Amino acid sequence: MNNSNFEKWDQEFRSQNLFAFNNNKNALLWLKVKAISKKLTMPKFLEQNHIQLNSTTIKDQNKELFSKLEINLEQSLSLLDAYLCDINNEWYHMMGVDEDTLKSELYQIDSYEWGGDQNNSLDKHLVNMFVKKISKYTELQSKRLEIQANAWNYVRTSWYNNWTSYLIESIFKHHPKVISAVGEIKSVDFFIDDIPIDLKVTFFPKGYMENTIKSKLGGKSEVSWLIQKAKENEIELNRSKLASEISEKISAAGHDEILSELRDKRKEVIKEAQKNKIDLITWLYENQGEMRFGAENRLFLVLADSSDLSQSWKMKRAFEQIEPAVNNYLNNFSSESLNIIDFVFEKKSYKSLADIIFVVK
């Protein structure tokens, strides 16, 4: 058995050179074989297509199947596409989710709080904040309600994120141009016209806003600018350093025009990002967390409430805006839709294909 091509693509995938998988049918075959190479999916594919393998382990079957299928690429890719669609449809059927009811349920969430640091697991947060810091049991007992609130906020917000993501991804996967990777390939959620794509649903990034808006505020951060405006209008701040607290005091003093000016500046940043997508896409690649780093092709769905960015979390359930934006994008998708992105992460250069769908309130 000649596994040279299999090993080649395996190495490219492991080294995060996902750009090499674009516009290469042999690489596409490797990805789609990987998508079905699980104990529950591989046997059914083999049975349906009357394929016999000598290998017994899934790992070796993966290699052997790839070698057999690459002999006739076009036919093999068609077989895999049909099977991936069947698996995806079965999965939705097994889930048995009433999407209309779910969409209504999501509107019962009235706040977006993580119960600690959203970058950490709940157990780490509880250990760091309560287990290791408190040595007296009576003091720990006094924190019971706070601990319960942390756990509830974490579960509630995670639930909201899970099911809004499910519904958003479903919009993509129900489109005829999209073939699902059935959740089995790290870095690939689906294929659009045979281009492997990782979907990233995100809010307009706070860090990008903070960096970009300075040029519109005389080189100052939002907090420094607000403090300056408060001083100019003789508003007492009592050493406040939180933008939300300063904004509230400015509003209470009857100077909403200051806050209106700041909102207009934020809207300008969002509009400029929509016109110059590559700058924001590059920022998103270069500022991803080290633990979740990836150089795969990405389609970013960026959600923003331009009047109040802190309320952008509600946009994840704004399906009446999201669905037409996604379908319009996919209806008009072509190989030219994706931009080549060159970016640097941890002093190493990468290349990817990416684009952004903006949904802005």
CA atoms within a 13 Å half-sphere pointing along the CA-CB vector of 142: 6
pLDDT at 27: 95
Six-digit token string for 257:
């025009």
DSSP 54: S
Torsion of CA 221, 225, 231, 236, to 10 degrees: -70
DSSP 300: E
Domain boundaries, the chain: 1-96, 107-161, 202-360
pLDDT at 119: 64
pLDDT at 1: 46
Low-confidence stretches of the chain (pLDDT < 70) are 1-3, 116-120
Please give the angle made by the CA atoms of 347, 353 and 354, to the nearest 5 degrees.
Answer: 100
List beta partners, residue 179: 191
Contact indicator for 77, 25 with CB cutoff of 8 Å: yes
Average model confidence (pLDDT) across the chain: 92
pLDDT at 289: 84
